[in-house]
């Protein structure tokens, strides 16, 4: 860890559980100041109280631009400008492609893809003003698609394409890192609305999933590299994951 990481301000969307929560813990341990964003205010307030005075909790929905604008103002006032944005908020509503799932499709696109895009344009001035890091949490599903994950994969493929464009457009002020986890044990599968898919996915993940802390460590490592270099794309699968 290089010492100039100390005190950098990081904003994490979806910090109320799973990878976002683990990343918040790891960043605070490494000396960062952290803004926790999510819709479940009780969860992030509890986490902020536990992590201490260098952490703030801000209720924000990535599908609601006004809540993000308010969050960006609050970060600037309370912690100083955001130097790091981690677009982590996401939902994975898998199931057979069908009209029955159409609300799931809208929710995934609005949260995973448009939510990340909106959060980034809202925080961009802060990230650029002195340099920063943008970390986009994509997925193995951003590189491979399979039956039943088409729209989720589309959001993550979309995120990868958008990230590569930003990588070129924002350099050298902002480093862009895409992290592509495989199966990680979190609440992600609990929101699947298609009952049969939920059951099979939960069984599949349970057998091999790695821990959210494993991904958090990778993020902290990437951020701690010297600013002259960027880990642009990081694919992290459980060792036993086939696809
Ligand atoms: N777990 C895996 O196997 C895996 C694999 C590859 C990629 N990923 C990606 O990792 C990211 C984190 O997922 P996770 O596995 O940690 O699942 P998780 O525990 O369910 O966390 C998802 C987070 O997203 C937040 N969120 C959802 N909708 C939101 C919205 N509209 N506005 C703001 N926040 C919202 C949730 O907070 P609130 O409900 O409190 O708002 C929650 O904190 C996702 O982008 C996911 O696609 C996960």
Answer yes or no: are the C-beta atoms of 74 and 58 closer than 8 Å.
yes
Residue with tokens 């604008």: 69
E strands, the chain, in order:
9-13, 33-38, 55-59, 84-87, 132-137, 174-181, 233-236
| CA–CA dist 91, 123 (Å, integer) | 22
| CA–CA dist 139, 200 (Å, integer) | 19
* pLDDT of amino acid 186: 98
* pLDDT of amino acid 3: 44
Residue 143 CA, ligand 1 centroid: distance in Å: 19
* pLDDT of amino acid 6: 87
* Residue 185, Cβ density class (10 Å: 0-12 exposed, 13-18 middle, ≥19 buried): middle
* pLDDT of amino acid 95: 98
* pLDDT of amino acid 1: 43
Residue 137 CA, ligand 1 centroid: distance in Å: 9
List, run by run, the mean pLDDT of 10-residue segments along the chain (243 residues).
76 98 98 98 98 96 98 98 98 98 98 98 97 98 97 98 98 97 97 97 93 98 97 97 88
Q: Which domains does the chain have, with CATH numbers?
A: 3-89+112-143+152-182+211-236 (3.40.50.720)
* Main-chain phi, psi angles of 204, to 5 degrees: -65, -45
Q: Secondary structure of the chain: what % helix, strand, coil (to 5)? A: 50, 15, 35
Among 17, 36, 123, say which to mutate for ligand 1: greatest number of ligand atoms within 8 Å of CB: 17
């Amino acid at each position: 860890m290089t010492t100039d990481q100390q005190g950098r301000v990081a904003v994490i969307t979806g910090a109320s559980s799973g990878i976002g929560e683990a990343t918040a813990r790891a960043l605070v341990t490494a000396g960062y100041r952290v803004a926790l964003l999510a819709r479940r205010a009780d969860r992030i307030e509890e986490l902020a109280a536990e992590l201490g005075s260098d952490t703030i909790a801000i209720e924000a929905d990535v599908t609601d631009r006004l809540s993000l604008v308010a969050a960006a103002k609050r970060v600037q006032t309370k912690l100083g400008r955001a130097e790091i944005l981690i677009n982590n908020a996401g939902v994975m509503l898998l199931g057979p492609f069908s009209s029955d799932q159409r609300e799931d499709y809208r929710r995934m696109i609005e949260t995973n893809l448009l939510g990340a895009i909106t959060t980034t344009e809202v925080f961009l001035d802060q990230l650029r003003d002195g340099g920063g890091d943008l970390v986009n949490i994509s997925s193995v599903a951003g590189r491979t698609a399979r039956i039943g994950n088409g729209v989720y994969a589309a959001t993550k493929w979309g995120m990868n394409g958008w990230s590569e464009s930003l990588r070129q457009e924002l350099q050298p002020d902002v480093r862009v890192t895409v992290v592509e986890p495989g199966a990680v044990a979190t609440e992600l599968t609990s929101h699947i609305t298609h009952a049969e898919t939920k059951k099979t996915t939960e069984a599949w993940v349970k057998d091999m999933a790695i821990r959210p802390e494993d991904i958090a460590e990778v993020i902290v490592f990437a951020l701690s590299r010297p600013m002259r270099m960027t880990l642009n794309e990081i694919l992290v699968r459980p060792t036993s994951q086939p696809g």
